[in-house]
């Protein structure tokens, strides 16, 4: 850009342009060693020096104090800064380049996600265990997940979450369930809070595979719990219902105070069917949505994972620490924690 054209821009436009040209220069540096041709024009001719020229073109004496201080600070640190950049590239070119590419790409992805949310009419959020990890609740299949831990009960934890194990080893099941599946100290994290706020201004349906009830605790109302909830329990004999607080007051293996029947958590264990009413509502919401956000899930648990294929909307977004292999066309994928991602968005 010519100096005259640059000088005609407003101050915010100059700063924005400088930022973009600076990052462009960093990326170009990975393919050339001609530092002078990159940084001299950027910093001395069309960068800071021109940036310091007042928009009114009244001369250097009319430069505001903040710009003058900024200019002096730049002169003192310019050479040191360039030497640091050179050293980083010379000794870790690939790593440094990767850092800047990720930084810039993430910023663009957040902007895209914000735009998709703002322009969508019907949104479905399909969440898994990764949504609650930022609340201190372990997920299942990640490298630090529950299924990777050495079981102290003599059976793999995944097997202990089956219907067969529940009925054959009820006492041991409840010891495990109380220790590993109930976390009364867990509180909603930013992902839950953001969705609760979004529900107030958007037509949003939350479909969760989690049983912790944190979405409702955050204030969300339109929540479909595919796998039930630890907050609901029922007697297998007389069908009386009990809250989590009721269960915690009873013995390790809770029995109904009314009839003595065994109380079972209203959670879907392996080998059990999903609640068909909830499943139908989930399919309806997904098929009518124009934006679907899949977050914090490996999509390895069937039939919940199969719900993705009912989506016929415009944009499919994935927010997950690990990349997902989806046959469906993904509009945007962000490999980062869900709450951390939502913190960068506005309602």
- Residue 149's region, left for phi above 0, alpha for psi from -120 to 50, else beta, is beta
Q: Distance of alpha carbon 85 from its chain centroid, rounded?
A: 32
| Cα–Cα distance for residue pair 17/244, rounded to 1 Å | 56
Residues forming the active site: 227
| Cα–Cα distance for residue pair 86/327, rounded to 1 Å | 43
Placement of tokens 């409840």 in the chain:
174
Q: Distance of alpha carbon 254 from its chain centroid, rounded?
A: 37
Asked whether the beta carbons of 330 and 320 are under 8 A apart, the reply is: no
- Which residue, 277, 330, 267, 265, is CA-closest to 301? 267
User: What are the C-alpha distances in Å from 145 to residues 53, 97, 125, 298, 319?
Assistant: 56, 32, 22, 12, 18
- Which residue, 155, 182, 183, 180, is CA-closest to 168? 155
């Amino acid at each position: 850009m010519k100096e005259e054209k640059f000088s005609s821009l407003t101050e915010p436009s100059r700063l924005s342009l400088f930022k973009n040209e600076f990052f462009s220069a960093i990326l170009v540096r990975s393919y050339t060693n001609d530092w002078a041709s990159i940084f001299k024009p950027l910093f001395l001719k069309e960068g800071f020096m021109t940036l310091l020229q007042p928009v009114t073109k009244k001369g250097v004496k009319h430069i505001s104090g903040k710009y003058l201080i900024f200019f002096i600070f730049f002169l003192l640190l310019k050479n040191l800064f360039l030497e640091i950049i050179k050293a980083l590239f010379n000794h870790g070119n690939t790593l440094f380049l990767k850092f800047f590419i990720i930084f810039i790409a993430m910023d663009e992805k957040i902007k895209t996600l914000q735009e998709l949310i703002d322009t969508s009419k019907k949104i479905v959020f399909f969440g898994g265990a990764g949504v609650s990890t930022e609340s201190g609740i372990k997920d299942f299949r990640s490298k630090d997940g529950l299924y990777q831990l050495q079981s102290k009960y003599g059976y793999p934890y995944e097997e202990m979450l089956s219907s067969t194990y529940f009925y054959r080893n009820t006492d041991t099941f409840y010891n495990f369930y109380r220790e590993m599946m109930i976390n009364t100290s867990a509180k909603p994290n930013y992902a839950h809070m953001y969705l609760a706020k979004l529900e107030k201004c958007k037509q949003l349906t939350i479909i969760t595979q989690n049983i912790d009830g944190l979405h409702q605790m955050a204030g969300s109302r339109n929540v479909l719990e595919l796998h039930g909830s630890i907050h609901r329990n029922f007697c297998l004999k007389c069908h009386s219902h009990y809250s989590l607080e009721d269960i915690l007051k009873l013995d390790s293996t809770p029995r109904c105070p009314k009839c003595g029947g065994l109380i079972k958590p209203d959670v879907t264990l392996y080998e059990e069917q999903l609640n068909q009413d909830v499943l139908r509502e989930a399919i309806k919401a997904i098929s009518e949505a124009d934006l679907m956000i899949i977050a914090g899930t490996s999509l390895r648990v069937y039939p919940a994972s199969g719900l993705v294929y009912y989506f016929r909307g415009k944009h499919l977004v994935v927010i997950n620490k690990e990349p997902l292999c989806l046959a469906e066309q993904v509009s945007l994928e962000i490999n980062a924690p869900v709450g951390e991602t939502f913190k960068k968005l506005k309602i």
